[in-house]
């Protein structure tokens, strides 16, 4: 669900796992990235850390700070 080249997630998939809707809520992006970090912590496999880094770089580029809690 992560487009690692862009650092973006696709939130909603069809039953056959094709992309249905790109995004639904910004909350999913943070939770998915947190899960990738946890996977890295559990396995030590840098593929998970690289994927999380790609997402975080997108967060910075797209100024996700505007979605902060108030």
Q: What is the pTM of this model?
A: 0.73
Res 29: pLDDT? 86
Q: What pLDDT, on a 0 to 100 scale, did the predictor assign at position 67?
A: 76
At 70, the pLDDT band (50, 70, 90 cuts) reads low
- Res 15: pLDDT: 80
Give CA separation, 18 vs 13, 21, 47, in Å.
6, 9, 23
Q: Looking at residues 42-69, what average pLDDT do you find?
A: 89
Task: Calculate the alpha carbon distances from 67 to 2, 14, 59 in Å.
Answer: 20, 27, 10
- Residue 27 neighbours by CB distance under 10 Å: 10
**CA dist 26 to 41, 53, 55, 65, Å?**
24, 17, 12, 11
CA 6 to chain centre: 10
What's the whole-number mean pLDDT along residues 39-53? Answer: 95
């Amino acid at each position: 669900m992560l487009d690692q080249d862009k650092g973006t997630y696709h939130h909603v998939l069809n039953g056959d796992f094709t992309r249905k809707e790109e995004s639904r809520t910004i909350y999913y992006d943070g939770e998915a990235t947190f899960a990738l970090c946890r996977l890295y912590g559990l396995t030590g496999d840098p593929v998970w850390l690289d994927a999380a880094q790609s997402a975080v770089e997108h967060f910075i580029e797209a100024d996700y700070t505007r979605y902060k809690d108030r």
